[in-house]
Amino acid sequence: MRRNVNPENRTVNLNNTKKIAFKTLGCRLNQYETDALVTDFDKAGYQLVGVDESPDVVVVNTCTVTNQSDQKSRTTISQAARANTNAVVVVTGCMANNFKEKLESQDNITFVVENNRKSSILSLVDAHFSGEILHPDQLPQDVFRYEPVQKSLHTRSAVKIQDGCDNFCTFCIIPMVRGRAVSRPVAEVLESVRKTIENGFKEIVITGVNIGRYEAGEAHFEDLLAQILEVPGDFRVRISSLEPDGFGERFVDLFRHPKLMPHLHLCLQSGSDRTLLRMRRMYDVQQFRKTIKLFRSVYPDFNFTTDIIVGFPGETEDEFQETMDAVKEFNFSHVHTFKYSVRRGTRAERLENHVSEKIKTERSAQIRDLSEKNKKQYFASFLGKTEEVLIEKVTQGIANGYGEHYIPVRFKASGAQKNTVRPVILTEIRGAGENMYLFGELND
C-alpha cells in the first residue's frame, strides 16, 4: 500500500541500528552536500561507516563534469554495489541528472535522486526501511534544504549560498545538471554560518556553482560576504572557486577583514581571447589581468589559483601559447589543468576542429610543468615568514593544515591539537608536484 510520507518529519530513531556509508566525487559543493547529509543521518541515529564495513545504505554522490568523472562515478557505484549486495544503494549528484534513465535501469541501484531533491535522501531511506514506497520524484525540490553541517568528514565546513548557473559556457554541462542560478536568502545563509560555527568549525568555505552571481533581493555577492564577515565568533572565511566576473574595489577591500583569507581560485580557463569567446566566457584576458593587478597592488602575496582547459576545439598552437604566457604572468600557485573532453549536449560538442588527444596530453603536461615551477616560486616567497595554520589532522606527531594563503603546511605538533589555529614559521619546501608543501616550526 502506498502511504503518505511527510518529509519534514525528521525525528531521531533511538532504535536505529542502521549503518550508512558515503562516497563523494567531484567539487566542493558535492562535498558540502555530502557533509550535510552526514549530519542528517547522524542526527537520525544512523551510524557512519566506511563502504567496506557492511553498511546498510551506501550513498554515492556523483560528478559528471568530465568524461573521467563519469568513469570514476560509474566505477565507484559498481564497486560499492558489488561489495554490499544487500545494501540500499542511492545514487545522487550531477550524474543522476545527466544519466537518470540509464542509472534507473541498473539493477544494482535502488534509488536515483536528482540534485534538487538530494537534501531529502534521509526521508527516502527512512521510508524505505519502514516499508513505505516512495519514489525519489515525490521528494520535495529544494536545493537549499540542507541542515548546517555538524558532523563532517572534514575540519573545514562549507556553507552553500547559491546553486545552478545559466551562463552556458560552451564546454560546460553544469547548466544542464544543476539547473538555473538560484540564491539562498541572506538570513538563511547567516543562520547557517552561525550554526556551523556553533558546531565547532573554525573555517567556513562559501560555496555554490557560480557564487559571484549571488543575488538575493537587493544583496549581491559582496553584500553577503560583508555580512558573513560580521558574524561574531572566532573563524576564518574562504571563498571556493569564482568566475572572474567584474569584481571591483569593494571586493578587494573586503579582504582587509582579518577573517577573510587571502586566496582566490579564479577560473581563467584560457589565456587566449579568441578561445575565451568560443567558450562563451564573459571576460577577456585584460579584464582578468586588471583584477589580479588590483589585488596584488594591495596584497602583494595574495594567492591566486586557477582552472585551465587545454585542447578546447579550435585551440591553435598560438592560442595555447597565450595560455602559457598568462599562467606565467599571473603566477598562479596552482593550476588545475583539464584536458578538454566532450560533454554530450553542450555547444562545444558541435564546434569544429577538435584537438587530438596527443596534443591535449602534451599541452596539459606543459601547463603542469609551468604550474609546478610557479608553485615552487610562490612557496619560496614564504620561507622565513609566519603563517597562521588551521590544523586539519595530526599524524605521528606531525600536524597538517593550511595557512591563511591556502598553502599546505606541516610541522612538529608538539602538543598542538586538531582544529586549532597556530602560528608556524616556514622553513623549508618539501615534496613535489601535487604533494608539495611547506615545512615549519611552531612559533607561539
Ligand X SMILES: Cc1cc2nc3c(=O)[nH]c(=O)nc-3n(C[C@H](O)[C@H](O)[C@H](O)COP(=O)(O)OP(=O)(O)OC[C@H]3O[C@@H](n4cnc5c(N)ncnc54)[C@H](O)[C@@H]3O)c2cc1C
DSSP reduced 3-state for 436: coil
Nearest CA to 338 among 127, 53, 67?
Answer: 67
Residue pair 359/311 in contact (Cβ under 8 Å)? The answer is yes
Q: Which is nearer to another protein, 283 or 402 (CB)?
A: 283
174 binds, among ligand SF4, another protein, ligand X, none (CB under 5 to 8 A by kind): ligand SF4
Please tell me whether residue 351 binds another protein under the rule CB under 8 A.
Answer: yes
Within 205-234, the residues that bind ligand SF4 by CB under 6 A are: 209-210
Question: Minimum distance between the CB of residue 281 and ligand SF4, rounded to whole angstroms?
Answer: 7
CA–CA distance, 212 with 201 (Å, rounded to integer): 24
345 binds, among ligand SF4, another protein, ligand X, none (CB under 5 to 8 A by kind): another protein
Within 120-149, the residues that bind another protein by CB under 8 A are: 138-141
Q: Which is nearer to another protein, 148 or 164 (CB)?
A: 164
Cell output for 40: 542528517
Q: Which is nearer to ligand SF4, 143 or 172 (CB)?
A: 172
CA–CA distance, 312 with 307 (Å, rounded to integer): 13
Q: Which region, judged by CB under 8 A, interacts with another protein, from 56-64, 277-285, 304-312, 366-374? A: 277-285
- Which residue from 118, 156, 278, 422 is in contact with another protein, where contact means CB under 8 A? 278
Within 277-336, the residues that bind ligand SF4 by CB under 6 A are: none
9 binds, among another protein, ligand X, ligand SF4, none (CB under 5 to 8 A by kind): none
Residues 6+ apart with CB under 8 A from 26: 61, 62, 63, 65, 69, 93, 94
Q: Which is nearer to ligand SF4, 175 or 311 (CB)?
A: 175
186 binds, among another protein, ligand SF4, ligand X, none (CB under 5 to 8 A by kind): none
Residue 284 CA: distances (Å) to CA of 242, 271, 309, 337: 15, 8, 15, 19
Question: Minimum distance between the CB of residue 268 and another protein, rounded to whole angstroms?
Answer: 15
Binding mask 336-375 for ligand SF4 (x = CB under 6 A): ----------------------------------------
Strands (DSSP E) found in 50-125: 57-62, 88-93, 111-113
CA–CA distance, 430 with 199 (Å, rounded to integer): 34
349-354 long-range contacts, CB within 8 A, separation 24+: 351/170, 351/278, 351/313, 351/314, 352/313, 352/314, 353/313, 353/314, 354/313
CA–CA distance, 123 with 229 (Å, rounded to integer): 34
Question: Minimum distance between the CB of residue 82 and ligand SF4, rounded to whole angstroms?
Answer: 33
Binding mask 163-182 for another protein (x = CB under 8 A): ---x-x-x---------x--
Q: How many residues bind ligand SF4 (CB under 6 A)?
A: 10
Strand partners, 410: 400, 439
Strand partners, 422: 389
Pairing of strands 437-442, 408-412: parallel
Binding mask 167-196 for ligand SF4 (x = CB under 6 A): xxx--x-xx---------------------
308 binds, among another protein, ligand SF4, ligand X, none (CB under 5 to 8 A by kind): none
What is the maximum alpha-carbon separation in the chain? 70
CA–CA distance, 359 with 202 (Å, rounded to integer): 44
- Structure letter (DSSP) for residue 262: S
Q: Which is nearer to another protein, 282 or 383 (CB)?
A: 282
φ, ψ dihedrals at 34, nearest 5°: -65, -45
DSSP reduced 3-state for 301: coil
CA–CA distance, 44 with 272 (Å, rounded to integer): 51
Question: Minimum distance between the CB of residue 242 and ligand SF4, rounded to whole angstroms?
Answer: 10
- Which residue from 229, 298, 342, 351 is in contact with ligand X, where contact means CB under 6 A? 351
Question: Minimum distance between the CB of residue 167 and ligand SF4, rounded to whole angstroms?
Answer: 4
Pairing of strands 386-395, 421-430: antiparallel
Question: Minimum distance between the CB of residue 350 and ligand X, rounded to whole angstroms?
Answer: 4
Q: Which is nearer to another protein, 111 or 411 (CB)?
A: 111
Question: Minimum distance between the CB of residue 162 and another protein, rounded to whole angstroms?
Answer: 15
Question: Minimum distance between the CB of residue 347 and ligand X, rounded to whole angstroms?
Answer: 6
Question: Minimum distance between the CB of residue 245 and ligand X, rounded to whole angstroms?
Answer: 17
Name the strands in the sheet holding 19-24, side by side, starting at the edge strand that comes first in the sequence.
Answer: 47-48, 19-24, 57-62, 88-93, 111-113
Residue pair 53/84 in contact (Cβ under 8 Å)? The answer is no
CA–CA distance, 118 with 112 (Å, rounded to integer): 10
Footprint on this chain of ligand X (rule: CB under 6 A): 168, 350-351
Footprint on this chain of another protein (rule: CB under 8 A): 2-7, 138-141, 166, 168, 170, 180, 246, 273-274, 277-278, 280, 282-284, 286-287, 345, 347, 350-351
